[in-house]
Structure 1
Amino acid sequence: MSKRKRMKKSIAPAMVLILAALSAAGCSTAGKSGGGDAAQGGGNGPVTVKVFKTHMGKGTIPDNNNAHVKYVAEKTGVQYALSTSPPGADPTENINVMIASGELPDIMRPIGGVEQTLIQQGGALALDDLLPKYAPNVWKSIPKEAWDVVRTASPDGKIYYIPKVYMIPERVPMIRKDWMDKLNLSIPKTKDEYVTLLKAFKDQDPNGNGKADEIPTLGREFGTWMDHLFAMYGVAMWEGKPEWDIYEGKIQYAGTSKNMKAAIGFMRELYSQKLLDNETFLNKGDVWQAKINNNLVGNWYHLPASLKDKVDAMRKTAPNAYVTALALPKVDGFNGFITQKSIGEAEWLIPKASEKLAPYSLKLLDFFYDPANEDFVRFGVEGLQHEVVNGKKKLLPQTEDKPLALDMQNFTTKESMDKRLDQLYPEDQAKMVKDIFEVGTKDARRIAGDGMPSSVYEGFPDIQSHKLFQEYLAKIIIGEWPIEKFDEFVDKWNKSGGDAVTKRVQEWYDKVQKYSKQ
């Protein structure tokens, strides 16, 4: 995941409350966060910085006596006070309510496009001068092209947030190699060979349980997490949502492209032959996960870096389970690729109301980007986050009753990923995932819309949510509507705001080109 982070709801309904809160908050948050005179550099102990981060996983919020909190404070002079979304809460709603109530953190991970509201309304702090001074490791690590994209998100061309940087493809199509070996099959090179392989998975009992219950390939509800089927046709997709890329010589919404129509037609054929799971549009995340873990699925699309738990589950009943990458099969007339989004997504933002504590917030962030702290960032404190087995550190599983540990770095290169795999995975699984990344990297391409701000959708929440696309996608694939209805969708999309959004996207893309030449 998975960046990846749905923009389920428009941020517009919360805007009035947010603006009122920003006006009333002033610098009150900074005054409440600092440890007395220490907040002003008085030397009365570590400065407390309130950090809000979503998607933390299982665990409790650490207090000031937590060993991880203490270690970071000892090294930086900054004591982090962590908060996250309540269990089951929608992170976008949660963060909007938090801002609207005036309970602003000192540094936060924005989500759902809220960074755009804060930037446009003066609620975000410009970081151009502060980053080189207080967070030199962050400033040096993130490439210029990423900072250039960040500048396009603001009307004044300033840097208002630290971006996520992921220089290898996060998502790759994967396939059960042990199934192919059993059926004497190899990686398909063409679409027709791929269909033949899916039919073999369906009909020849590759998992050996005699039940003929294998699922050749699948996706999730709303048509998400089956991007490999779009990728074969050169459609820019991110977790089942169309992105923006160059089609017919200009930047366009992939959802209305000729490539998309062809891809949907192909998936309609797979669905009718039960080669695409007929429960795809009903599969919630836990159901989708269970099908893969229980050795029922031959081919799926997900994050190689999270493969370990799946393989461990598979091998409980299939000891020889082995996963490899599916190089994209060739489709005549189309140039397939895996969508790569590497830069520009907002990762950390400092509210204007917390300007006084910005140096401390950035010093805290810089700790996690400092190469000297890499081992601690990855493994944390012995007994809390890791144990030592045969002289090697091994991460302990997260549990509901164990304190969480803050990690603020989201900068990934091939080298850092390889090191992570060597440290955290058994040798055979580390090689497995490295091989998957290698194949995925060959098929991946950064799309033109990488880093595009959500502000292009302002006033058009239905376009931003992809609801119209998802309706037509599902009904055409399951056979309720004919493929010809796709043309009706394109017309509706354009008339309901698509034309206006496309104009804004083109203006943004022109800015990207301008900054890249400077």
Structure 2
Amino acid sequence: MRKMVKTMAALAICSTLVLTACGEKTKTGGTTTGSGADPNAKTTITWLNILHTASPPTDTIIKKIEEKTNAEVKFSWIPDASKEERINTSLASDSLADIVTLTILDNSSVRNALKSGVFWEVEPYLNEFPNLAKISEDTRRSASIAGKLYGIPFQKDLARNGVVIRKDWLDKVGLPVPKTMDELMEVAKAFTEKDPDGNGKKDTTGFMDRSDLVYGAFKTLGSYMGVPNYWKVSEDGKMTPEFDTEEYVKTMDYMKKLYDNGYINQDFAVTAKTDQQQKFAQGKAGIYVGALFDSKNLKNMAKGVQDNMELVLVNNITPTGSESERHIWAGNNGIGGLLAFPKSEVKDEAELKRVLKFVNDLMDDDTYALMTYGIKDVHYKVDENDAATIINQDLWQQEVQPFASSRPNETGYKIHDSDPLKAESDKLIKENANYAVLNPAYSLESETFSTQGSELQKIITDATYKYILGKIDLNGFKDAVENWKKSGGSKIISEYEAAYQEAKK
């Protein structure tokens, strides 16, 4: 596998509004209802979690999970679109839960909380539990902060992103599956201008994107164009942030061309992920950039609305079509964040072990099946090859799909999806690993980044959007980069360079 990056994964968590209930349980004497020394005791566990669907799940699967884990589970759900803006308030007010889902580990508030002892260090306990003991040393190291593991890593594939395209629309406008960035632009133009849905109206766009420069289209398209994954390191150890590269500017220019010509939804900068997916499923656009396995969900969402939808998955787009140019950013080196356990909620080692036992049980095959497919013969059926097929799509979306981001591990299970799109996405995601670009600064420490990184990133995020939307020119963007450096970015660079040299010794 080519060397290259790992990012951090999308962040996480909490609103004081939703969390008040979580805080209340500590006032009644903790969560464990059985013997505190018994990791198998009946217990109540609160979980501050991220929701990637429009509505939380009903209690059907939760009750089954409770039976499997011998625990009463009380979820506080935070919508994915608002998770980052609420993290600082939640950590500052200590409004947490027994389990907190942290999905963006480079957020300065999260990183500082982890390093300052807010959460339990868990590595000394992992080998006491069979499923947790299987977490590899590489995964443990990748998920560690300053050499310590402050939660159970979400174990995910290395590089999951790609491009999902309406194949039936390609056929309608007479274009092949794109393999270069220019060909992708041509597809976006045709999907906007040539009435691919055949309704006689100019009411479609090429791309349907969302307000996320990382998990939306921007970072994936950027990686196709050679943008480094957060940081570029030279042979002599000099570090350059991705936004200070020529390739980043070219990516902004590409997105600006899409925007200026109407080849992308004009409200992409304020569109939530759920709205993006729903509009794509409704036939408003024909190109979706994101996790390749989203294709199955998009096709299912389109049933009854766009029943003729055919999708093709693409993971090999390059500037000129050359195999040697092939790159894809690695979102997290197989780490999707942490399930972390605040010391304010999990009071002692005995309670910690009971919560760890709960997480361990979530990684059993039966519990994975529950959180992925639901209840056998109710939500899904399985064939002789352990391939699962959803038999009640509406019920599955309501009762099971909201748990998609709650599984501590997503790989290595016996049961697998029979859906052709899911099988194809699994194949391409595995192939992506050969071209994954890792973040060379992911495991390095910078005190300035830990304290100011999130605030400084807003300077670049705002400037990137303003450039794409035509509100500033290239000089304005370069001014923002200089502002980033003067406000603390230069210190981050020098601290990472020092840490990199130290790590090489």
Query: What is the TM-score normalised by the length of structure 2?
Result: 0.77
1:365 is the counterpart of 2:359: yes
For 2:312, what is the secondary structure of its paired residue?
A: strand
Contact 1:218 1:299 in 2 (8 A): yes
Identity of aligned residues (%): 19
1:132 alignment partner in structure 2: 127
Q: CA–CA distance in 2 between the matches of 1:481 and 1:436?
A: 37
| CA displacement, residues 252-290 of structure 1 (integer Å, 9 cap, x when unaligned) | 321222211122223333333333443333434454334
Q: CA contact under 8 A between 2:373 and 2:379: conserved in structure 1?
A: yes
Q: Deviations over 1:163-194 (max 9, x none)?
A: 22212423212222222222332233333333
1:259 maps to what in 2?
Answer: 247
Structure 2 unpaired stretches of 5+ = 1-7, 17-22
What corresponds to 1:162 in structure 2? 152
1:310 maps to: 298
Structure 2 CA distance for aligned equivalents of residues 178 and 202 of structure 1? 15
Q: Is the 8 A contact 2:9 2:337 kept in 1?
A: no
Q: Aligned in 2, Cα 1:88/1:429: closer, same or farther, shift over 3 Å?
A: closer
8 Å contact from structure 1 (residues 106, 357) kept in 2: no
Whole-Å Cα distance in 1 between the matches of residues 468 and 267 of structure 2? 12
Deviation for aligned residue 1:233: 1.7
**Cα distance change on mapping 1:246 and 1:321 into 2, 3 Å:** farther
Report the Cα offset of residue 107 of structure 1.
3.5
2:114 counterpart of 1:119: yes
Query: Which residue is 1:397 aligned to?
Result: 396
- Please state how far the C-alpha of 1:294 moved relative to its aligned partner: 2.0
Is 1:146 equivalent to 2:105 in the alignment? no
Q: Is the 8 A contact 2:164 2:289 kept in 1?
A: yes
Please give the secondary structure, in 2, of the residue aligned with 1:164: strand
User: Residues 29 and 103 of structure 1 are in contact (CA less than 8 Å); yes or no, is this contact kept in structure 2?
Assistant: no
What is residue 351 of structure 1 aligned with on the other side? 342
Q: State the match for 1:21 in structure 2.
A: none
1:336/1:261 CA distance change after superposition, 3 Å: farther
Q: Which moved more, 1:207-216 or 1:470-479?
A: 470-479
Question: Is the Cα–Cα contact under 8 Å of residues 63 and 69 in structure 1 kept in the other structure?
Answer: no
Taking structure 1 as reference, are residues 67 and 454 closer, same or farther at Cα in structure 2, changes over 3 Å only? farther
Partner of 1:19: none
- Cα distance in 2 for residues equivalent to 1:182 and 1:436: 25
CA distance in 1, matches of 2:90, 2:265: 40
The one of 495, 499, 502 aligned to 1:504: 495
Q: Is residue 53–residue 108 contact of structure 1 (8 Å, CA) maintained in 2?
A: yes
Kept after mapping to 2: 8 A contact 1:50/1:107 = yes
Please, which of 407, 410, 416 is the counterpart of residue 409 of structure 1? 407
Structure 1 counterpart of 2:143, one-letter code: V
Deviation at 1:323, TM superposition (A): 1.5
Once the two structures are TM-superposed, the CA of residue 315 in structure 1 deviates from its matched residue by 4.9
Change (3 A) 1:443 1:315: farther
Name the CA distance, whole Å, in 1 between partners of 2:258 and 2:94.
51
Change (3 A) 1:96 1:360: farther
Q: Does the 8 Å CA contact 2:13/2:102 hold for their aligned counterparts? A: no
**Aligned equivalents of 2:249 and 2:403: distance in 1?**
45
Please list, as runs of the form range in 1=range in 2, the aligned pairs for 1:202-217 lying within 5 A after superposition: 202-217=192-207
> Which string of whole-angstrom CA distances, capped at 9 and with x for unpartnered residues, describes residues 283-303 of structure 1?
344543343112231222122
Quote the Cα distance in structure 2 between the aligned partners of 1:204 and 1:89.
33
TM-score by length of 1: 0.75
Cα separation, partners in 2 of 1:251 and 1:100, compared to 1, 3 Å: closer
Q: Which amino acid aligns with 1:148?
A: R
Does 1:70 pair with 2:61? no
Per-residue CA deviation, residues 82-138 of structure 1 (Å, 9 max, x unaligned), is 2313679954676666666666543332356455344333332222321112x2321
Q: Describe the shift of the 1:296–1:345 C-alpha distance in structure 2 as closer, same or farther (beyond 3 A).
A: closer
Q: Against the structure 1 CA distance between its residues 387 and 232, is the aligned structure 2 distance closer, same or farther, given a 3 Å change threshold?
A: closer
Residue identity opposite 2:142 in structure 1:
V
Q: Deviations over 1:398-451 (max 9, x none)?
A: 548x998799533234x55x95322xx3xx434453455366555543332446
Match of 2:49 in 1: 53
Distance 2:465 2:403 in 1: 40
Instruction: Kindly indicate whether residue 332 of structure 2 is the aligned counterpart of residue 337 of structure 1.
Output: no
Rounded to whole Å, the distance in 1 between the matches of 2:334 and 2:446 is: 14
Does the CA contact (< 8 Å) of 2:280 and 2:298 recur in 1?
yes
CA 1:322 to 1:433, structure 2 compared with 1: closer, same or farther past 3 Å?
farther
Query: In 1, distance between residues paired with 2:303 and 2:61?
Result: 41
Given candidates 455, 460, 466, the residue that maps to 2:452 is 460
The RMSD of aligned alpha carbons is: 4.3
Shift of residue 219 of structure 1? Answer: 2.7
Q: Point out the more displaced range, 210-219 or 221-230.
A: 221-230
Give CA-to-partner distance per residue, 1:346-374, whole Å, 9 cap, x none: 32223335222122112221112245755
Residues 459, 484 of structure 2: 8 Å contact kept: yes
Aligned residues of 2:96 and 2:342 also touching (Cα < 8 A): yes
Shift of the 405–492 alpha-carbon distance from structure 1 to 2, 3 Å rule, reads closer
Structural mapping, 1:418-437, within 5 Å: 419-422=415-418, 425=419, 428-434=420-426, 436-437=428-429
Residue type matched to 1:480 in 2? K
1:406/1:262 Cα in 2 relative to 1: closer, same or farther (>3 Å)? closer
Alignment partners' CA distance in 2, 1:137 and 1:8: 25
Aligned-partner Cα distance in 2 for 1:480–1:332: 32
Match of 2:231 in 1: 244
For residue 411 of structure 1, what is the amino acid of its counterpart? N
Alignment-mate amino acid for residue 122 of structure 1: G
Aligned residue identity for 2:407: Q
Contact 1:50 1:82 in 2 (8 A): yes
Matched, 1:40 2:37: yes
SS at match of 1:484: helix
1:479 pairs with 2:440: no
More divergent stretch after superposition (447-456 vs 316-325): 447-456
Amino acid at match of 1:70: E
Q: Distance in 2 between matches of 1:342 and 1:95?
A: 23
CA offsets per residue over residues 494-515 of structure 1, 9 Å max, x none? 111111122333455557667x
Distance 1:484 1:403 in 2: 45
Alignment-mate amino acid for residue 82 of structure 1: K
Residues 111 and 301 of structure 1: is their aligned pair in 2 closer, same or farther, counting only changes over 3 Å?
closer
Q: Write the mapping of 1:13-24 to structure 2, written as runs, cut at 5 A.
A: none
Give, in angstroms, the shift of residue 147 of structure 1.
1.4
Aligned to 1:171: 161
- Rounded to whole Å, the distance in 2 between the matches of 1:192 and 1:382 is 46
